[in-house]
Chains A and B, each alone.
Chain A
Amino acid sequence: MKLTGAQAFIKCLEEHGVEVIFGYPGGALIDVYDELMKNDKVHHVLTRHEQAAVHAADAYGRVKGEVGVALVTSGPGATNAVTGIASAYMDSIPLVVFTGQVPTKLIGNDAFQEVDIVGITRPITKHNYLVKDAEELIPIIREAFHLAKTGRPGPVLVDLPKDVLATRITYPEVKPISMRTYKPTYEPHPGQIEKACQAMLKAKKPVIYAGGGVILSNSNEELTELARRLDCPVTMTLMGLGGFPGTDPLSMGMLGMHGTYYANMAVANCDLLIAVGARFDDRVTGRVDAFAPHAEIIHIDVDPSSISKNVRVDIPIVADCKHALVAINAWFARSKDFNATECAEKHRPWHEQIREWKNKHPLGYVEETGIIKPQFVIQKLHELTGGDAIITTEVGQHQMWTAQFYHFNKPRQWATSGGLGVMGYGFPAAIGAQMAAPDKVVIDIAGDGSIQMNIQELATCRQEKLPVKVAILNNGYLGMVRQWQELFYNKQYSSTVMEVAPDFVKVAEAYGAVGLRATKPSEVEPVIREALKINNTVFMDFVIAREEGVYPMVPAGKATTEMLLV
């Protein structure tokens, strides 16, 4: 039986186990939406902006550990999706984005709502396709899913001309995917594993530096096993939070620009740095030549181009983090030279040194009577959710406070736009997260600036009846830029004062959601408790200390040991 392209498209989503997609219709996609309405297996979430659809699909994928799917129309639908795609690309998130396109015979004709989205998204996708022949539709979609989730994951875009969706085709049989030009390396080289393990055996002051690759490859357990076996302190990147339990005594929290004093000091003084699924981003390294200057560096990454890109690496291991960690753990399990007690003994002075740094400059803040400190709100959120909520954020100060004070113990409970740094990510991401985990508490921790970048998604929350909670840390500023202006630009608060802001409680109410407000520290806990009880979308407006800064802070271009402290 022949199917139209649109019918085959939906059948192919079902073939890939897709249950939820996020999107926004338009002329070029009418055929698909017509079929979606008849279908009861694929649930379509209508967001109120295409950017939000992509962020929601991104977070859905992160939380579920699957490929997120977004569907947007041609022209402006596609261009609105660009920020979401770029964010997923920077964070290596598996995503397939389908865009509508004008009919093939009109392509290149400057037709209505035509844009060369394949050209536009070339540098921000892992790969992209324009389907020119209806017979190619299904093989391309299969390749797209395969590419999105294998190797170093990433977004893949498939552009669907309107006539392709209307053409009748025979649905091709499922065949194993074999791509001549694409064969990611999963298994580590045994010689490199040997070298790495010998280095670990020797090290007196090792540090594990874990990134998003640990989460993406589901290797948190293997990482934890290695850290405990070696009695090795662990620091995580923003993307790696939850890859190792944040409350574990071996955890030093996040490193880098707003990392902990002790994590940055440990990296600067270690003799072995074990980088697992991390990419030595500038926000992590600070001044590159002063990053881990005394250390031998092991780098495990599935993407060879990540290795020795920013920082020279002594022992590169191109492999999936999980496979590499399994091999390393197996090496230690059978090694006769390794003795856990001796190892712990050898590392003891190193742990004492780290403890000393930690006691000298613990993560903290100064309390002020009658004024809500943002860090206090995060601590309360952590406490009242038992550390078990799924947290998303926007981008800015609130994001860093969350990374510092919500100690993530598990992977996939944290979604933030790390690489691209998208204000407006968190609220739609919370929608995606809640769709992926309907029984979990999902909280978007936001700033008063960034929540306004996708505030229209209140309607999506209401339509899907999602009990998403939004904690707005409201200081009336674009706080992170203001902090830089305070420190480096003579307190000239150019365009960072939010002189006009909506009443967030009333905005929530206007959409049929609930709005709550806390203006005093004593109101924080009751507001959170109340919000967690309500089976509806809730905005919590926390009026916080206006000029609170994020500390520690490594000024841009400085060494990570040159931190500004509280």
Chain B
Amino acid sequence: MKHTISVLLQNKPGVLSRVTGLFSGRGFNIESLSVAQTLEPDVSCLTLVTSGEDTIIEQITKQLHKLIDVIKVTDMCEHDNVEREMALIRVKAEAHTRAEVLRIIDIFRGKVIDVGPKSYVVEVTGKASKLQAVIDILRPIGIQEIVRSGTIAMTRAQKS
């Protein structure tokens, strides 16, 4: 099963390689990874998506926790959370398809962020499944390039 794991880290050189080294060294798998500073400049948040049986996920969280520079490990699957990815898609946009591309992007609440004579670069954010849907629909029109970010996630506000 897929798990999104959020890791708060000390923002120090080499910390990312401690995390990725742990995964490669112990044969855990990383499907996507995203990392950037948090509100506190000396703390980074790393979000990674991995998959495995429960015993593997348990080892992953324990081993991450064991790294000295790790502040907090949260398996987002244990919480109600929101997840987002972003994709930049360079899609063919010639005279007869330009309008259609715009319509599709609009439906998915995406944006055109670069316009060329024969292509657009569009930006779409959402869950992985939504990005996949956009890609599937644009593909027949002609996708030239895709760059996708890793997943980022945040727990929802507690309802009470």
Q: Which residues of B lie under 8 Å from residue A181 when comparing CB positions?
A: 10, 68-71
Establish whether residues B21 and A122, one from each chain, have CB atoms under 8 Å apart when the complex forms: yes
Write the A163-195 contact mask toward B (1 if CB under 8 angstroms, else 0): 000000000000000011110000000000000
Contacts A127-B68, A181-B69 given; does A308 touch B55 at CB 8 Å: yes
Size category of the B interface is 10 to 19
Establish whether residues A119 and B17, one from each chain, have CB atoms under 8 Å apart when the complex forms: yes
Q: From residue 112 to 169 of chain A, which have CB atoms closer than 8 A to chain B?
A: 118-119, 122-123, 126-127, 130, 147
Q: Which residues of B lie under 8 Å from residue A103 when comparing CB positions?
A: none
Establish whether residues A147 and B68, one from each chain, have CB atoms under 8 Å apart when the complex forms: yes
Establish whether residues B68 and A304, one from each chain, have CB atoms under 8 Å apart when the complex forms: no
Q: From residue 76 to 133 of chain A, which have CB atoms closer than 8 A to chain B?
A: 118-119, 122-123, 126-127, 130
| Residue ID in chain A nearest B10 by CB atoms | A181
Establish whether residues B66 and A305, one from each chain, have CB atoms under 8 Å apart when the complex forms: yes
Size category of the A interface is 10 to 19
A118 to B21, CA, bound (A): 12
Whether B3 is near chain A, meaning CB under 8 Å from some CB there, is no
Whether A314 is near chain B, meaning CB under 8 Å from some CB there, is no
Whether B63 is near chain A, meaning CB under 8 Å from some CB there, is yes
A269 to B22, CA, bound (A): 36
Write the B13-29 contact mask toward A (1 if CB under 8 angstroms, else 0): 01001100110010000
Interchain CB contact (< 8 A) of A179 among B17, B66, B68: B68
Whether B65 is near chain A, meaning CB under 8 Å from some CB there, is yes
Q: From residue 47 to 72 of chain B, which have CB atoms closer than 8 A to chain A?
A: 55, 58-59, 62-63, 65-66, 68-71
Q: From residue 281 to 305 of chain A, which have CB atoms closer than 8 A to chain B?
A: 303-305
Closest CB-CB distance, A164 to chain B, in whole Å? Answer: 15
| Residue ID in chain A nearest B43 by CB atoms | A180
| Residue ID in chain B nearest A143 by CB atoms | B68
Closest CB-CB distance, B78 to chain A, in whole Å? Answer: 16
Contacts A181-B70, A309-B59 given; does A304 touch B21 at CB 8 Å: no
Interface of B, secondary structure class, is helix
Q: Which residues of B lie under 8 Å from residue A130 when comparing CB positions?
A: 14
Establish whether residues B25 and A304, one from each chain, have CB atoms under 8 Å apart when the complex forms: no
Establish whether residues B58 and A308, one from each chain, have CB atoms under 8 Å apart when the complex forms: yes
A122 to B68, CA, bound (A): 11
A119 to B13, CA, bound (A): 11
A122 to B71, CA, bound (A): 18
Establish whether residues B68 and A126, one from each chain, have CB atoms under 8 Å apart when the complex forms: yes
A391 to B59, CA, bound (A): 35
Establish whether residues A122 and B66, one from each chain, have CB atoms under 8 Å apart when the complex forms: no
Most B CB atoms within 10 A — which of A118, A179, A305, A309?
A305
Establish whether residues A118 and B14, one from each chain, have CB atoms under 8 Å apart when the complex forms: yes
Closest CB-CB distance, B105 to chain A, in whole Å? Answer: 43
Q: Which residues of B lie under 8 Å from residue A304 when comparing CB positions?
A: 62, 65-66
| Residue ID in chain A nearest B25 by CB atoms | A123
Q: Which residues of B lie under 8 Å from residue A118 when comparing CB positions?
A: 14
Q: Which residues of B lie under 8 Å from residue A127 when comparing CB positions?
A: 68
Closest CB-CB distance, B73 to chain A, in whole Å? Answer: 11
Interchain CB contact (< 8 A) of B66 among A119, A180, A303, A308: A303
Q: Which residues of B lie under 8 Å from residue A123 when comparing CB positions?
A: 21-22, 25
| Residue ID in chain B nearest A303 by CB atoms | B66
A119 to B69, CA, bound (A): 15
A304 to B10, CA, bound (A): 21
Q: Which residues of A lie under 8 Å from residue B21 when comparing CB positions?
A: 122-123
Closest CB-CB distance, A135 to chain B, in whole Å? Answer: 16
Most A CB atoms within 10 A — which of B17, B63, B68?
B68
Interchain CB contact (< 8 A) of A182 among B17, B58, B63, B68: B68
Closest CB-CB distance, A145 to chain B, in whole Å? Answer: 14
Closest CB-CB distance, A95 to chain B, in whole Å? Answer: 16
| Residue ID in chain A nearest B18 by CB atoms | A122
Establish whether residues A305 and B55, one from each chain, have CB atoms under 8 Å apart when the complex forms: no
Closest CB-CB distance, B12 to chain A, in whole Å? Answer: 10
Closest CB-CB distance, A406 to chain B, in whole Å? Answer: 34
28 pairs of residues in contact across A and B, judged by CB atoms under 8 Å: A118-B14, A119-B14, A122-B14, A122-B17, A122-B18, A122-B21, A123-B21, A123-B22, A123-B25, A126-B68, A127-B68, A130-B14, A179-B68, A180-B10, A180-B71, A181-B10, A181-B68, A181-B69, A181-B70, A182-B68, A303-B66, A304-B62, A304-B65, A305-B62, A305-B63, A305-B65, A308-B55, A309-B59
| Extra inter-chain contacts (19) besides given A119-B17, A180-B10, A303-B66, CB under 8 Å | A119-B14, A122-B17, A122-B21, A123-B21, A123-B22, A126-B68, A147-B68, A180-B71, A181-B10, A181-B68, A181-B69, A181-B70, A304-B62, A304-B66, A305-B62, A305-B63, A305-B65, A305-B66, A308-B55
Chain A residues packing against B (C-beta within 8 Å): 118-119, 122-123, 126-127, 130, 147, 179-182, 303-305, 308-309
4 tightest A-B CB contacts, nearest first: A305-B62, A127-B68, A123-B25, A181-B71
